[in-house]
Chain A
Amino acid sequence: MSAADINFDGLTLAERILSARVGKRVNANDLVVVDIDQVMVVDSIAPSVIRIVEDELGGEIKHPSRVSVVIDHVAPASNVEVATTQKHLREYSKAHGLRLFDVGRGICHQVLIEERLAHPGWIVLGSDSHSTTYGAVCAFGTGMGATDIALATASGKTWLRVPETVRVRLTGTRPPGVTAKDVALTIISELTADGATYMSIEYQLEHDDWSLSERMTLANLAVEAGAKVGLVPPNEAIRKAYDVPEWLEVDTTATYTHDITINLSELSPVLAAPYFVDNVHPIQTYAGTPVDVVFVGTCTNGRLDDLHIVADILRGQHVAEDTRLLVIPASSKVLEDAVADGTFGTLLAAGATFSTPGCGPCMGRHMGVLAPGEVCVSTSNRNFIGRMGSPEAKIFLASPATAAASALHGHISLAEEVAA
């Protein structure tokens, strides 16, 4: 049966994508085996995946052209062991015809979107939990463990339970200073950290002027509510940029497990305080807390528009004396664009320091890990104990605007345009 013969009425976006793929109508909780359009493997998980593929699955790779390997989590390598693993990974990728994105190209999710390796209606698996990011273009993007990824690499397929769906309705328009990150954190505080476990989050935006970058921030954080996927329905801009299948649209008569509605015009900037992403508070609750490090980057908020927000706040000023500002562009493309349009210079002049595009200290392996007692305001997505280094450090997750204002003042601050 082709997609044209399927009755999609009353199905959620997740059900539609999986129905189209298996060629018949499927509903939440059905089990399906599906072909995969793209498998993404990162440097730190790749060795286990290769071991399972080689030792347990006969070394077969079904569609090498559908496998992307990204060296981003520890890039460049931090020690001889890591360097050796990465050397092997390069050789393996070359020998098997896998697409390799080497040190400096950027963070896996950012790179896959830039390289157009995720399309509306596709199924994309990643060895990294934030693979929900591909929902930004309405691809069924989800993270899995090493055995799943190895099976997917070997067979070109995976098994999935069709997820139930939580509908998140965003009404009204955002006040100035309320960024996609503030909205995403507010959603997590409403849903809680396991409020959408196994489920698809379907975002329904009343005024959809959200950019691709903002959609990525939203979908990226879906996993912090436990979700399997976070699907943002295509808007005009996405329809222009990609071929969107006609069945890929919201059906408001679909069955949603639950529903939340957030009126954006009532929101204000928020942060997630240690040690949980759903520990969300207004900035004012922690205003004045001294900050040692401000980290701007990651797959959540390391894109050009994020750097623009930071540069606009810091332009002509300087980071506070006792505070370090570390900026890591999400990709080489972001870095190139930031150099070309002057953002890079503005940030350097304001006292920022830069590192190689990649994950940086986001998961505490290298490039700016935190010391005991240090406080960090980060634009990333996890603030668990020890995530960025010492278990005695504290991480506050916030928007690029809050990060910039906090760097400027040396303590947690609301950006001026909002405070005024």
Chain B
Amino acid sequence: MSVPITSNNVSSNNVPSNRVRVWRFGDSVNTDDMLPGKYAPFMVGEDKFHTYAFAHLRPEFAKTVQPGDVLVGGRNWGLGSSREYAPQALKTLGVGAIIAKSFARIHYRNLLNLGVPAFTSAELPDVLTDGEQISFDITTGELLRADGSKHQLPPPPAFLQEALQEGSILKYYQKYKRFPGEAAE
């Protein structure tokens, strides 16, 4: 499984080459916002539930989001129930990364287990605007805006980069029968 944004998408003259859209959200986006409980896979079908992502909060989202797009949130992204089909819907839609001021703990693990890169930044969520085009390198954490300004996010630890290369921690374990960063038996 490939990761939607590659490490080569920032060209040397600072012009973003592989642009993706920013979807900006506020604080405390919960898992019910991401996927309302009544659109759970067993209610609407395994092949359709992702089309209801943010159905109440941003009805146009699931129809217009493009693979690689970056979601930006405020504090405590993903609070609420530990339902895994909420991040699964984002994964299925091809969301490239999530940048938030902070993440709720169980949801953060779910994102990484499923293979949606999650980045924490105290300032950037207030800087980025909804709908703007950026280029974002998920392996280095380098983010380039259309005006040429550059922002550096802490890159994912080596452990997670290894996992994301396989698609997710679950996929990594399936392949190697061990966790990334763990010595082979």
> Which residues of A line the B interface, CB within 8 A?
31, 33, 48, 52, 56-57, 129, 143-148, 151, 154-155, 157, 159, 194, 197-198, 226, 228
Q: Decide if B133 is an interface residue (CB 8 Å cutoff).
A: no
Report the minimal beta-carbon distance from A387 to chain B, rounded to whole angstroms. Answer: 11
> Which residues of B line the A interface, CB within 8 A?
75-76, 79, 82, 84, 102, 104-106, 108-110, 113-114, 157, 159-160, 169-170, 173-174, 177-182
Question: Which of A56, A145, A157 is the one whose CB lies under 8 Å from B109?
Answer: A145
Cβ contact within 8 Å between A146 and B173: no
Residue of A nearest to B105 (CB): A198
Cβ contact within 8 Å between B114 and A159: no
Query: Given A143-B106, A145-B84, do A159 and B79 touch, yes or no (CB 8 Å)?
Result: no
Cβ contact within 8 Å between A129 and B170: no
A-B CB contacts (within 8 Å), total count? 67
Report the minimal beta-carbon distance from B81 to chain A, rounded to whole angstroms. Answer: 9
Cβ contact within 8 Å between B75 and A194: yes
Report the minimal beta-carbon distance from B180 to chain A, rounded to whole angstroms. Answer: 8
Leading 5 A-B pairs by shortest Cβ distance: A145-B82, A33-B182, A147-B113, A33-B179, A31-B159
- Report how far A157 CA is from B114 CA in the complex, Å: 17
Cβ contact within 8 Å between A33 and B110: no
**Which residues from chain A contact B76 at a C-beta distance below 8 Å?**
194, 197
Report the minimal beta-carbon distance from A125 to chain B, rounded to whole angstroms. Answer: 11
**Which residues from chain A contact B79 at a C-beta distance below 8 Å?**
194
Report the minimal beta-carbon distance from A312 to chain B, rounded to whole angstroms. Answer: 37
Report the minimal beta-carbon distance from A166 to chain B, rounded to whole angstroms. Answer: 14
**Which residues from chain B contact A33 at a C-beta distance below 8 Å?**
178-179, 181-182
Cβ contact within 8 Å between B182 and A147: no
- Report how far A147 CA is from B116 CA in the complex, Å: 14
Query: Given A56-B174, A147-B110, A147-B170, do A197 and B179 touch, yes or no (CB 8 Å)?
Result: no
Residue of A nearest to B183 (CB): A33
- Report how far A187 CA is from B173 CA in the complex, Å: 39
Q: Told that A52-B170, A145-B82 touch, could you supply 16 new A-B pairs with CB distance under 8 A?
A: A48-B84, A56-B170, A57-B173, A129-B82, A145-B106, A147-B114, A147-B170, A148-B113, A157-B182, A159-B179, A194-B79, A197-B104, A197-B105, A198-B105, A198-B108, A226-B105
- Report how far A361 CA is from B10 CA in the complex, Å: 54
- Report how far A56 CA is from B173 CA in the complex, Å: 10
Cβ contact within 8 Å between B106 and A144: yes
**Which residues from chain A contact B84 at a C-beta distance below 8 Å?**
48, 145-147
- Report how far A148 CA is from B82 CA in the complex, Å: 11
Cβ contact within 8 Å between A226 and B104: yes
Cβ contact within 8 Å between B159 and A159: yes
- Report how far A194 CA is from B76 CA in the complex, Å: 7
Report the minimal beta-carbon distance from A284 to chain B, rounded to whole angstroms. Answer: 30
Interface centre among B76, B160, B170 (most CB of A within 10 A): B170
By secondary structure, the A interface counts as: mixed
- Report how far A56 CA is from B114 CA in the complex, Å: 12
Report the minimal beta-carbon distance from B157 to chain A, rounded to whole angstroms. Answer: 6
Cβ contact within 8 Å between B179 and A157: yes
Cβ contact within 8 Å between A155 and B179: yes
- Report how far A194 CA is from B100 CA in the complex, Å: 15
Cβ contact within 8 Å between B174 and A31: no
Query: Given A145-B106, A198-B105, do A151 and B170 touch, yes or no (CB 8 Å)?
Result: yes
- Report how far A143 CA is from B110 CA in the complex, Å: 12
Report the minimal beta-carbon distance from B137 to chain A, rounded to whole angstroms. Answer: 21
Query: Given A31-B157, A31-B181, A145-B84, do A155 and B110 touch, yes or no (CB 8 Å)?
Result: no
Cβ contact within 8 Å between B181 and A145: no
Query: Given A56-B174, A129-B106, A145-B109, do A159 and B82 touch, yes or no (CB 8 Å)?
Result: no
Cβ contact within 8 Å between A57 and B174: yes
Q: What are 19 A-B contacts with C-beta separation under 8 Å? A: A31-B157, A33-B178, A33-B182, A57-B174, A143-B82, A143-B106, A145-B82, A145-B109, A145-B110, A146-B82, A147-B110, A148-B109, A151-B170, A155-B178, A159-B159, A194-B104, A197-B76, A197-B102, A226-B105
Question: Which of B82, B157, B169, B182 is the one whose CB lies under 8 Å from A151?
Answer: B169
Residue of B nearest to A142 (CB): B105
Cβ contact within 8 Å between A144 and B109: yes
Residue of B nearest to A227 (CB): B105
Residue of A nearest to B163 (CB): A159
Cβ contact within 8 Å between A159 and B105: no
Report the minimal beta-carbon distance from A297 to chain B, rounded to whole angstroms. Answer: 22
- Report how far A209 CA is from B75 CA in the complex, Å: 38
**Which residues from chain B contact A143 at a C-beta distance below 8 Å?**
82, 106
**Which residues from chain A contact B75 at a C-beta distance below 8 Å?**
194
- Report how far A31 CA is from B170 CA in the complex, Å: 17
- Report how far A145 CA is from B106 CA in the complex, Å: 7
Residue of B nearest to A32 (CB): B181
- Report how far A54 CA is from B157 CA in the complex, Å: 30
**Which residues from chain A contact B110 at a C-beta distance below 8 Å?**
145, 147-148
**Which residues from chain A contact B104 at a C-beta distance below 8 Å?**
194, 197, 226
- Report how far A56 CA is from B177 CA in the complex, Å: 12
Report the minimal beta-carbon distance from B91 to chain A, rounded to whole angstroms. Answer: 12
Report the minimal beta-carbon distance from B30 to chain A, rounded to whole angstroms. Answer: 11
Report the minimal beta-carbon distance from A307 to chain B, rounded to whole angstroms. Answer: 30
Cβ contact within 8 Å between B105 and A228: yes
Residue of B nearest to A157 (CB): B179
Report the minimal beta-carbon distance from B182 to chain A, rounded to whole angstroms. Answer: 4
